[in-house]
Chains A and B, each alone.
Chain A
Amino acid sequence: MMIGPVGFAAPWLLVALAALPVLWFILRAVPPAPIRRRFPGVALLLGLSDDDTVTDRTPWWLLLLRMLAVAALIVGLAGPVLNPQADPNERKTGPLLLVMDATWASARDWPSKTALIDTMLSEAGREARPVALLRLSDPEAPVFQSAEAWRTRLSGFDPQPWSPSAVDLVEVADTLGDEAFETRWFSDGLARPGRDALLTALEDRGQVTVYESPIPVIALSPATVSDGILNLTASRAVAGSVREIVVEAHGRDPSGAERMLATLPLQFEEGATVTSGELALPAELRARLTRFEISGQRHAGAVTLTDDSLRRREVALIGGRQDREGLELLSPLHYLEQALIPSADLLDGALIDVLPANPDVIILADVATLADAEQTLIEEWVDGGGLLLRFAGPRIAASDLSRSEEDALMPVRLRAGGRTVGGAMSWGEPKTLASFSEDSPFFGLDTPEEVTVSAQVMAQPDPTLASRVIAQLADGTPLVTRKRIGSGQVVLFHVTANAEWSTLPLSGLFVQMLERLAVSSAVALPDLTEMQGTTWQPVQVLDGFGRLDDAGTLPGVPGENLITDAIGADLRPGLYDGPDRRLALNVVTEDTVIEPAIWPAGTSVLGLARPNEAPLGGWLLAGAMLLLIADIVASLALSGRLMPVRAAALVLAGLMISTPADAQDKPALATSEVVLAHVLTSVDSVDQTAEAGMRGLGETLFFRTSVEPSEPIGVNLETDDLSVYPFLYWPVTPEQPIPSAEAYTKLNAYLRTGGMILFDTRDANVAGFGASSPNGQKLQRLARALDIPPLEPIPEDHVLTRTFYLLQDFPGRFSGRQVWVEAAPADAEQVEGMPFRNLNDNVTPVVIGGNDWAAAWATDTTGNPMFPIGRGFAGERQREIAYRFGVNLVMHVLTGNYKSDQVHVPALLDRLGQ
């Protein structure tokens, strides 16, 4: 049975609703009899009449409440379901195949897809249909099994960052078998080859329904660089109306944290499927980019990773000392500069200055001596991945560098003097280069005949020499040697960087060799021949949602596959580390064109939106229970018996909110008024006395001074903010817990910022604060973690003796003399003619005594003293002095050393000419 969108499982139960009017009469009960109370004040009540009489019948709203509860109960038991899906007349049978594209383009609405699939699975489960789930991006032969089995696996299905190829789709069509089944295809909305063939194969086996999300697919092509400006291109499958997107450039900030570095807004014109924009970034910033992504798109096609091709390498050029007027063409760095300027950023400056910029390459042209500090720094830098490129020259040949011992920053030992061939004073012809061996990084480069070497430094034959030579002359003498240090390397050209010793710097080979050594960065993708035989290790891979994950144990990939193969399960998009460079493989490349899928006429294509089936019975039954509880409360309230219930509710509510509420109220009160606070010790009697003491002292201050404190506050050191209290009274009890480390941090901050704590051991200081009384021991343990300056017994000229009253004694309930305050500085001396020394310039952070001041100050709420002090009149006098001490103390806290400034009065009067 259906009423509007609500269906009922047991509609006949609704008949019971007809019985509600009967209940109406039954429930009109008379409220319960009054309570009898004994109360002496009844004499004062006589003659008072009630303003409004309470009805003796159940009020209509209570009746309505009960009716609603019963009605909700009946309707709830009738099993209502909102938007019931399974109409028995349309019950379907037979196996069901759910096909998902599960590509990166599906990731944009993956949650709604899985939710819909989950609904369909639960339906199929109710109808006992066998189900198979097929992901085209990760195809397996469909296995029909119970829907529940698939439901448990569904949350583990994620979209893959690649698309199925036409070959994959044909394979899938072959595995379908002969059985007839219904198909529901969750498409990602993109056209791809082979799809129509698969659709035909599926339609042969039964009805096919396609589900497609209306959200448009937007993809981002890899960024390219031209003239230092980044070009970004985005494309969309369906040419629609004007649409604005934002491309975010992410990278590392100087501290190494991943963050957004720049944004570029792009706009699709109406009817256009492609848009592009330019982003100008400083080279520093560009070098730190790691990826671009379209804001708000959660799929791998909207993310493009960057690799070394965006970077310009930073090269620091360090030449030897210039001891003659610069002949430009003879400068050891001239040819290097010319070779590197097009493809690298050059750093100029002293070695020590450029090292912190962490350049990729440091070139030392004919530098023989390095200071110790420089040597150490460079070694660290090379060890961390730097490339140190050295050129020989007259200075190296003349020095003892790496002569008998191999220098740490030289690949080989050198023989003294070097050699000259083909010069005016020597026999023989200048030497040419031998072709590069296979394990040399220069392998494959041509060795032109015109490159000749007429002078060089010679490597000392060593066991390691052969493995370090990467280029040699025709006669076999090493020309370029290399040594690896840590993750970096040192390369030595045995000739000069200018044309003095060889013609190498004049040739194109020189530039190519620098390129191979990754001194200058090649912008173009390495070609196929170069990649042959190399292995590239994935470092980070993209998932279908465009998130970067650690590659983990994924195997390395042959270099040629990176260029020839399409991305797939064996070649995941991500970052790959190869020899000397890093390559990014993106989901969308420059050649990718995304087009919307066109389904043949007659295929039913549906959106993902679908009203959800919602059983309402549970909600209605819960509502009925709530109404019945409300009825109990209301009935109790009507009969005046709510007190215990309300008290219980209040206690519950109090438990839930008391701590935060206290924490909020206390500072609010304390910041609007001066508040005397005492530390809660967890001993009730002590806390009560302390509170009463603060109240009594507050009253005294109120009557006698312009300090008008509000009600005292008990402070919990663990939870409360201390900074709002000028003064804390801390009674010491042996039972109280030691505050936590955080509380001590707060206390120390409080003491350092001008707060004062009055410690009171309340034992008349019988032990002289030694460890022989429990309170004294406790005081020592409490104060151990506190930042307390050196203390001394209060001196006679301390400012506490005259902040308001002139005092020499500081009694509380006891009249011990020993009260300790911050010690005066050692150099404080009494000046002739002054009544007191010029002491500390601030408030003493602690006052420690044992006179139980709170007891002497304590008054009850009517202002009567709570504890007797001393004997007779002398006792009253002692109480008065105790109050005066309290007044002085609070004045000291609030006015600081104001009264100490009297020491300057004679000087001031003197200046006024009196």
Chain B
Amino acid sequence: MSQTAPTPASLRAKAEDQAGRLPPLLARAEHLAGTVLLGEHGRRRPGLGDDFWQYRPVQPGDERRFIDWRRSAKSDTQYLRQREWQIAQTVAIWVDNTASMRFSSQEDLPEKSERARLLSLAVSILLNRAGERVGLAGTSLPPKRGEGQLVRLAEALSEDSDEDYGQPETSGMTAHGRALFVSDFMGNIDKAKAALTEAADRGIQGVILHLLDPAEEAFPYRGRTIFESVGGTLAHETLKASDLRDRYLDRLAARKDELRALCATTGWQYGLSHTSDTAQSTLLWLYRAFDGGPLK
């Protein structure tokens, strides 16, 4: 989060600007999250919790105080009432906020960063409702529960970075927690690899959401062109852009494969989404990915 030294006036303007952006982002994220009606975030197995899970015949070794007499009175055998295991998880979210994410190829498409923030905040809302603790990767916002945490999350997610390409942050993540990485992964893949491996080493399971603009998938450019990164640090000139298309797409496919393979070895979930898709279907996928439900 490198920023130029703030003067009081600019700080205030910026703060107001940020505060002005917060409620809409939060509202839209709430709205998006509202389309997914969740039950409590159960583990689908018996354990400690409030909700009823199943009746089970009494087996040797069960304590008598656990017998559900009302159920047992209806039959000859005795039953235990089991509850669903509900346990709060810790989820750390990393959203790429670098310059390359602030790109949209068409006016009616959202920027990648905008979509990434919306999705991660909506997921946070859902996770928060499900009783999980959500925070940002890194040390800036440790995982907590509650509505207040969502406001802080929205605030933290709204910050921009001037760097061109970002890499995942793994510091401050709870061992054996869950994680969500949202980025376009256009930068140095080795750093992303290192971060992911490190997280996996610490027993962290998670989801990678590879967010791309349709133009990055199609490369619809022709003629003599100078391509510049959004931050302006990289440039590449070509005389015939259409010739580069196939080789660019090969490289992009290779990168996707690399990420996919990495996820396969570390047990993470890999998802590819485009800003032209609806946010809702991506959110549904994210929710399922966290829920461990059926994935397609």
Contacts and interface: CB of A to CB of B under 8 A. Distances in A.
Interface of A: 31, 33-46, 48, 50-54, 639-643, 859-860, 862-868, 870-873, 875-876
A45 B227 contact: yes
Given A41-B248, A642-B222, A876 B278 contact: no
Interface stretch (B145-153, B236-244, B260-268): B236-244
Contacts of B237: 34
Contacts of A871: 37-39
Given A40-B229, A48-B244, A872 B39 contact: yes
Given A54-B240, A864-B284, A868-B284, A44 B37 contact: no
A689 to B, nearest CB: 11
A873 B213 CA distance: 33
Contacts of B216: 39-41
B252 A41 contact: yes
9 A-B pairs closest in CB distance: A640-B223, A872-B39, A40-B100, A34-B224, A863-B296, A42-B227, A44-B251, A39-B227, A54-B239
A44 B100 contact: no
B51 to A, nearest CB: 11
Contacts of B281: 860, 864-866
A834 B248 CA distance: 65
A43 B36 CA distance: 37
A26 B274 CA distance: 49
Contacts of A43: 100, 165, 186-187, 229, 234
Interface residues of B, number: 54
A865 B228 contact: no
Contact of B228 (A38, A642, A643): A38
Interface of B: 35-39, 44, 100-101, 103, 112, 165, 184, 186-187, 213, 215-216, 219, 221-230, 234-241, 243-244, 247-248, 251-252, 255, 272, 277-278, 280-282, 284-285, 293-294, 296
Contacts of A46: 234, 236
A35 B223 contact: yes
B116 to A, nearest CB: 13
Interface centre among A39, A859, A868, A871 (most CB of B within 10 A): A39
A868 B35 contact: yes
Given A859-B296, A864-B285, A864-B296, 11 more contacts: A33-B224, A34-B237, A35-B226, A36-B228, A41-B252, A43-B186, A51-B243, A640-B241, A864-B282, A866-B281, A871-B39
Contacts of A867: 280
Contacts, number: 139
Contact of B293 (A31, A40, A45, A876): A876
Given A37-B227, A41-B252, A48 B235 contact: no
Nearest to A870: B37
Contacts of A31: 224
B263 to A, nearest CB: 16
A163 to B, nearest CB: 74
A34 B239 CA distance: 8
Contact of A39 (B44, B228, B272): B228
B247 A48 contact: yes
A53 B224 CA distance: 10
Contacts of B186: 40-41, 43-44
A864 B229 CA distance: 32
Nearest to B38: A872
Contacts of A51: 240, 243
A429 to B, nearest CB: 119
A640 B236 contact: no
A872 B37 contact: yes
A45 B244 CA distance: 8
B236 to A, nearest CB: 5
A863 B271 CA distance: 12
Contact of B230 (A33, A34, A38, A859): A38
A45 B248 contact: yes
B226 A36 contact: yes
B222 A643 contact: yes
A490 B110 CA distance: 96
Given A54-B239, A860-B277, A871-B39, A40 B230 contact: yes
Contacts of B294: 876
B230 A640 contact: no
